[in-house]
């Protein structure tokens, strides 16, 4: 390692001397201000020093050039002291030792020199400089040296001036001129995405169903059978899970029908036995008036016609109350007409001594705007509690039945009455709706005859009828059970 001290008027000249003498690989050990300029102590590896330019020798060989710089006396004295401070290290393992090890060897050799008085007198000697530099961390010193050398290199090799960058946004087309998607195009894209989603859902559900058929074939057959009966997939899947897979198909189907009957809610107390005010609601053409006549006839036969009264609120149709009046005259029961809630309350008060009062409401679809007015008529303040029953046809689709229940549930429903059982081809839709809505069934009307074609609702009867209709619709299809399963 080669260490040398440099003096100059300013830092720029000193760094130029370091670069000329020791090369670009030199490391600055310290720098400070002195009289007449600055002082820099720099070091370089011996290998790097050998490759440094020979300008230094030429510079020393021409004292005239050096004299032209006119250094101060202190600068001349320091230059003479610098010649004494030069140390050349010769280690046996120069190729393998690091710069730190070489520097330590140099310190040891320098400390063993006999000229201690000369070192003590010179405060700016190499040892003093090294002791001051020990307090500085190596990373900071290296960063400072590299920064100084980099600055020097940058001054000697100035980079070409960069041209200002053009603002590319100035040449971009305005967004106002860009084509925008119309609402119709957005709707088309949304519909296409929904179609893809439905297709994927269908494929996934198909794969899941194939897995169920492979792992649980009996359960898959029972679910399909209940769906053919008319039950919803959710209800069929829930009930089929309770049947063990090893059960024989005929016994499994019989047990499944028993589970279906257990789920059907029914009215615990007969309407005729309980008495009171009973109103029948429902859409147009479901058989409300005929059902009122059947119930009135049975009540008159059991309790007497003087204990039964009929009221109609159907004032929308011309001659709507005439049919009910004919039934009343035949049975000997009074028939009254109520136009609004006040008249209904007055009529009920007049007939309060009757055991059973049946109210026939106007037939309106679940989407009719006048339905709210009709329901408000029944929600009147009266001393008597009105028990409302929804009349539902067995011939209606599952979605129609569900929508009807949702619209008429604005008022509390005590239950429902199923009509047109003799006209339906599948009973599972009605069973599925009443089970999922927990709507108890009071009566089942299976014909037009008064008062014969009406019976109290029984779950086993309903399930047996549903299975009978299923057997008729699938009599030409192969299956693993027979018609004897309906007797459970």
pLDDT of residue 108: 56
Two structure tokens written together for 476: 């030409």
pLDDT of residue 162: 53
Measure CA of the first residue to CA of the last residue in the chain; give whole Å. Answer: 109
For residues 8 and 71, give the distance between their C-alpha atoms in angstroms, rounded to a whole number: 8
For residues 40 and 22, give the distance between their C-alpha atoms in angstroms, rounded to a whole number: 12
pLDDT of residue 475: 72
With a threshold of 0.75, does the pTM exceed it?
Answer: no
CB 376 within 8 A of CB 403: no
Strand duo 308-312 + 441-445: pairing: unpaired
For residues 2 and 43, give the distance between their C-alpha atoms in angstroms, rounded to a whole number: 5
User: How high is the mean pLDDT in each 10-residue block of the chain (488 residues)?
Assistant: 85 87 83 85 72 45 42 46 42 45 56 44 48 52 54 52 52 54 83 84 67 72 87 88 84 90 90 88 86 91 89 71 83 85 81 88 59 55 76 91 87 89 89 92 89 89 90 70 46
pLDDT of residue 461: 92
For residues 203 and 221, give the distance between their C-alpha atoms in angstroms, rounded to a whole number: 20
For residues 330 and 445, give the distance between their C-alpha atoms in angstroms, rounded to a whole number: 21
Query: Which of 479, 488, 483, 425 minimizes the C-alpha distance to 224?
Result: 479
For residues 122 and 124, give the distance between their C-alpha atoms in angstroms, rounded to a whole number: 5
CB 222 within 8 A of CB 253: yes
Task: Kindly state the helix (H) or strand (E) to which residue 27 belongs, with its residue range.
Answer: strand 27-34
The DSSP result for 419-461, as a single string, is E-GGG-S--HHHHHHHHHHT--EEEEE-SS-TTTSEEE--HHH
For residues 78 and 100, give the distance between their C-alpha atoms in angstroms, rounded to a whole number: 26
Domain ranges for the chain = 2-155, 271-457
Task: Match domain 271-457 to its CATH number in 3.40.50.300, 3.65.10.10, 3.30.460.80, 1.10.1200.10.
Answer: 3.40.50.300
């Amino acid at each position: 390692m080669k260490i040398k001290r440099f003096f100059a008027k300013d830092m720029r000249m000193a760094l130029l001397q370091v670069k000329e003498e020791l090369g670009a690989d030199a490391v600055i050990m310290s720098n400070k201000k002195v009289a007449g300029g600055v002082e820099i102590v720099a070091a370089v590896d011996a290998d790097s020093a050998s490759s440094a330019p020979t300008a230094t020798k030429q510079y020393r060989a021409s004292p005239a050039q050096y004299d032209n710089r006119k250094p101060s006396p202190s600068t001349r004295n320091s230059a003479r002291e610098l010649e004494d401070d030069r140390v050349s290290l010769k280690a046996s393992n120069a190729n393998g030792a690091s710069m730190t090890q070489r520097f330590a060897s140099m310190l040891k050799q320098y400390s063993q020199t006999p000229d201690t008085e000369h070192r003590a007198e010179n405060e700016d000697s190499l040892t003093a400089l090294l002791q001051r530099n020990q307090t500085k961390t190596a990373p900071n010193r290296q960063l400072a040296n590299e920064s100084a050398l980099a600055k020097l290199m940058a001054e000697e090799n100035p980079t070409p001036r960069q041209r200002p960058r053009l603002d590319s946004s100035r040449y971009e087309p305005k967004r106002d001129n860009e084509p925008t998607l119309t609402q119709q195009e957005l709707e088309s894209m949304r519909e296409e995405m929904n179609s893809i989603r439905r297709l994927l859902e269908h494929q996934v559900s198909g794969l899941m169903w194939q897995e169920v058929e492979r792992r649980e074939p009996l359960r898959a057959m029972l679910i399909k059978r209940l769906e053919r009966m008319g039950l919803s997939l959710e209800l069929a899947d829930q009930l089929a899970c309770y049947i063990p897979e090893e059960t024989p198909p005929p016994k499994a189907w019989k047990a499944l029908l028993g589970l279906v009957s257990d789920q059907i809610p029914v009215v615990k107390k007969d309407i005729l036995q309980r008495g009171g005010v009973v109103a029948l609601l429902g859409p147009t053409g479901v058989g409300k008036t005929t059902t009122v006549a059947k119930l009135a006839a049975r009540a008159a036969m059991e309790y007497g016609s003087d204990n039964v009264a009929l009221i109609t609120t159907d004032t929308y149709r011309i001659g709507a109350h005439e049919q009910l009046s004919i039934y009343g005259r035949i049975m000997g029961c009074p028939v009254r007409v109520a136009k609004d809630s006040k008249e209904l309350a007055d009529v009920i008060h007049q007939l309060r001594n009757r055991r059973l009062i049946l109210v026939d409401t106007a037939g309106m679809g679940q989407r009719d705007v006048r339905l709210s007015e009709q329901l408000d008529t029944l929600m009147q303040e009266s001393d008597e509690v009105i028990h409302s029953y929804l009349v539902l046809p067995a011939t209606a689709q599952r979605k129609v039945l569900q929508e009807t229940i949702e619209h008429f549930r604005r008022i509390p429903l005590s239950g429902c009455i199923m009509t047109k059982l003799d006209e339906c081809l599948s009973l599972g839709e009605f069973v599925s709706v009443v089970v999922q809505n927990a709507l108890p069934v009071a009566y089942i009307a299976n014909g037009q005859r008064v008062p014969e074609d009406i019976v109290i609702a029984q779950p086993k009867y309903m399930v047996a009828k549903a299975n009978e209709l299923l057997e008729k619709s699938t009599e030409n299809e192969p299956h693993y059970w027979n018609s004897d399963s309906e007797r459970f």
